[in-house]
């Protein structure tokens, strides 16, 4: 029912009045408004390009160039770091060789010193052994002499007791 009334109301409005209403409802006129808006748009584009986008693009280009330069510097530095690492490895290798040589030298010196002390100890022990053997030999000789003397005196006594005196 409501649509029927609207349709009746629309058909009851004369056509020229409808054209006037449509003209009032238009967003803008295409007479001089379109070129004016086009000119405003172009001026705004030029102004934004000169005031905003060009400086921003220049800044971004400079920043990009700076970043690329720093990256190139980092690549150069990485090569330098690699060379320094190689030098450090060479120095460490040389230091390890020096330490190994020093350890071997100390080991040889210590071994030589220990062998000398062992030889000295052996000589002392041998000297003491020779001295002790000589002392024992001397005591043996004295014991044999003492025994010989006792044997002679005992054999004389045995002979005296066994053989009657004649």
Residue 62: its pLDDT value, please? Answer: 95
Whether 141 has a pLDDT exceeding 80, the answer reads yes
Let me know: does 28 contact 37? Beta carbons within 8 Å.
yes
127 vs 160, residue with greater confidence? 127
pTM surpassing 0.85?
A: no
- Name the band, by pLDDT with cuts 50, 70 and 90, for residue 145: confident
- What is the mean pLDDT of the segment spanning 25-49? 81
- Name the band, by pLDDT with cuts 50, 70 and 90, for residue 70: confident
- Condensed to tens digits (0 to 9), the pLDDT of residues 43-64 reads 999 999 999 889 999 999 999 9
- Condensed to tens digits (0 to 9), the pLDDT of residues 117-130 reads 999 999 999 999 99
75 vs 55, residue with greater confidence? 55
The residues near 34 (Cβ < 8 Å, ≥ 6 apart) are 28
Question: Half-sphere exposure of 15 toward its Cβ, with a 13 Å CA cutoff?
Answer: 0
């Amino acid at each position: 029912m409501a649509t029927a009334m609207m349709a009746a109301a629309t058909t009851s409005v004369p056509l020229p009045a409808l054209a006037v209403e449509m003209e009032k409802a238009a967003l803008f006129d295409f007479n001089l408004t379109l070129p004016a808006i086009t000119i405003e748009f172009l001026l705004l584009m030029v102004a934004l390009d000169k005031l905003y986008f060009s400086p921003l693009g220049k800044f971004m280009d400079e920043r990009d160039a700076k970043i690329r330069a720093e990256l190139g510097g980092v690549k150069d530095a990485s090569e330098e770091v690699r060379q320094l690492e190689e030098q450090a490895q060479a120095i460490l290798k040389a230091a390890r060789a020096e330490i190994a040589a020093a350890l071997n030298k100390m080991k040889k010196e210590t071994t030589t010193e220990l062998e000398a002390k062992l030889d000295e100890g052996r000589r002392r022990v041998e000297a003491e052994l020779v001295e002790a053997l000589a002392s024992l030999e001397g005591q043996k000789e004295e014991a044999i002499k003492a025994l010989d003397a006792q044997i002679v005196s005992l054999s004389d006594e045995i002979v005296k007791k066994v053989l009657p005196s004649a």
